[in-house]
């Protein structure tokens, strides 16, 4: 994620001096047909001479860099950690990243389960008279099972204590919804041509 954010920062031209250096080095290497040697020398320099890392890629909190290269408000609301995607506050080093990873896995499992059953938590509420109203929602069962596991381990997993839970769920559904719609469109088109 840090690599992607640095690429976004370079492409945005908001740090024009740094972007100009990268651009001129790339085009000079392209003109001289030396792109692979440039990449090799750059990697060796980054490995052998650690101060070059901060010069070429100045550190910035991941949560503050937007996908357009500018500055954004952290998804957790506050900047409590510099190495997490949401910027959630943490009591111990790495706690926010660990919570994000846990919420990512739980969110992915929820999406897989909801795609298999045809339901998703942000869908329309079931009608009281429909036959589906008596059937429990499997995505809610999966979410409550993950919460129960966390509570049994002594972790407070509600949205007031875990500032990464809602941003990670939102990010997962935002990214996966177009993919799921695309798969459905391809499948429908395939079925139409098959008939």
- 67-116 pLDDT tens trace: 777 777 777 777 777 777 787 877 778 888 888 888 888 878 777 777 77
Is the predicted pLDDT of residue 151 greater than 90, yes or no? no
Same-domain status, 102 and 189? yes
Domain that holds residue 183: 95-194
Report yes or no on 83 lying in a domain: no
Percentage of residues in the chain with pLDDT exceeding 70? 78
Report yes or no on 89 lying in a domain: no
Report yes or no on 70 lying in a domain: no
Q: In whole angstroms, what is the distance from residue 5 CA to residue 7 CA?
A: 5
Report yes or no on 69 lying in a domain: no
User: Distance from CA of residue 32 to its chain's centroid?
Assistant: 37
Residue 155 in tokens: 């972790």
Is the predicted pLDDT of residue 45 greater than 60, yes or no? yes
Same-domain status, 99 and 182? yes
Q: At what angle do helices 16-31 and 2-12 cross, to 10 degrees?
A: 90
Same-domain status, 60 and 144? no
What pLDDT does residue 183 have? 86
Q: Are 96 and 164 in contact (CB under 8 A)?
A: yes
Report yes or no on 164 lying in a domain: yes
Q: In whole angstroms, what is the distance from residue 87 CA to residue 80 CA?
A: 5
Is the predicted pLDDT of residue 11 greater than 80, yes or no? yes
Q: What is the pTM of this model?
A: 0.59
Q: Which domain-ending residue is among 64, 79, 108? A: 64
Report yes or no on 85 lying in a domain: no
Report yes or no on 19 lying in a domain: yes
Same-domain status, 99 and 189? yes
């Amino acid at each position: 994620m840090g690599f992607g954010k640095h690429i976004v920062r370079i492409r945005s031209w908001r740090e024009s001096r740094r972007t100009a250096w990268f651009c001129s080095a790339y085009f000079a290497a392209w003109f001289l047909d030396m792109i692979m040697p440039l990449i090799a020398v750059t990697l060796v320099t980054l490995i052998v001479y650690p101060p070059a890392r901060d010069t070429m890629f100045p550190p910035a909190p991941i949560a503050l860099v937007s996908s357009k290269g500018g500055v954004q408000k952290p998804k957790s609301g506050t900047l409590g950690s510099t190495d997490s995607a949401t910027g959630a506050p943490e009591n111990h080093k790495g706690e926010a990243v660990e919570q994000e990873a846990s919420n990512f896995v739980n969110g992915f499992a929820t999406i897989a389960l909801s795609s298999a059953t045809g339901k998703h938590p942000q869908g329309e509420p079931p009608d009281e008279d429909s036959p589906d109203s008596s059937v429990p929602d499997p995505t809610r069962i999966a979410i409550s099972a993950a919460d129960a596991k966390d509570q049994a381990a002594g972790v407070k997993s509600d949205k007031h204590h875990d500032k990464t839970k809602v941003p990670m769920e939102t990010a997962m559904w935002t990214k996966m919804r177009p993919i799921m719609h695309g798969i459905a469109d391809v499948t429908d088109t395939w079925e139409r041509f098959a008939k």
